[in-house]
């Protein structure tokens, strides 16, 4: 099983929002929570491009690099508040079950901060492999991160089930030829084969039998 990180294992959505909001306000660009929803599962640079659609001027490639860097620095500072208490409900139980069933697990995240976050919440050693934004050139909905995770696990794509909270992530899983379990926001997406508002609503025993 390949898990997205933000919104599946731990919720850092608010920190992303606050960081982007700070950048937008500094640049006098309109930004709200609805726009932020469109950044789910999307890379930092692509998220920046979405935010800049509301800008009243064009930005150079160098300016964009600076803004993306500043956003990440703000975000990382906010992440220092993350603790094991921020692990989402059901995560520990599912990881325990998968270990008992000897099912390999991986993180498949577009974030370049995945290892930092996992260390903060104490789950770095709970996964057999980690594929994140440092390993890929294309973010979701491209399947690259999931295919990379499968390769690191030493398994073939159609043996994998991806757990995602973003539509882009579900699209990426489908494109990779993997099963898709949509939770949270993605529980309402028709391409998800399995759905649950939260991991606590998912009967994993039934899915993996």
Catalytic residue set: 4, 6
Relative to beta strand 179-183, strand 194-196 is parallel
Structure tokens at 159: 């043996």
CA atoms 162, 166, 170, 176: torsion sign: negative
Helices marked H in 80-113: 91-100
CA atoms 134, 189, 208, 205: torsion sign: positive
Query: In 3D, which of 185, 193, 12 has the Cα closest to residue 110?
Result: 12
Residue 6's contacts (CB-CB under 8 Å, 6 or more residues apart) are 12, 13, 16, 109, 111, 117, 165
């Amino acid at each position: 099983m390949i898990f997205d990180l933000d919104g599946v294992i731990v919720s850092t959505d608010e920190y992303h929002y606050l960081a982007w909001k700070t950048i937008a306000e500094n640049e006098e660009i309109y930004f709200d929570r609805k726009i932020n929803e469109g950044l789910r599962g999307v890379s930092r640079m692509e998220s920046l491009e979405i935010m800049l659609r509301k800008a009243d001027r064009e930005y150079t490639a160098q300016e964009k690099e600076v803004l993306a860097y500043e956003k990440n620095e703000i975000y990382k500072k906010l992440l220092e508040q993350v603790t094991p208490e921020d692990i989402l409900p059901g995560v520990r139980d599912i990881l325990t079950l998968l270990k008992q069933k000897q099912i390999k697990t991986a993180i498949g995240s577009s974030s370049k901060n995945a290892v930092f976050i996992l260390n903060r919440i104490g789950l770095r050693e709970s996964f057999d492999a980690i594929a994140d934004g440092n390993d890929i050139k294309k973010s979701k909905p491209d399947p690259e991160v999931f295919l990379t995770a499968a390769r690191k696990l030493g398994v073939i794509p159609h043996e994998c089930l991806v757990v995602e909270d973003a539509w882009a992530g579900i699209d990426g899983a489908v494109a990779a030829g993997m099963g898709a379990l949509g939770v949270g926001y993605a529980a309402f997406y028709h391409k998800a084969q399995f759905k649950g508002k939260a991991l606590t609503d998912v009967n994993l025993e039934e899915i993996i039998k």
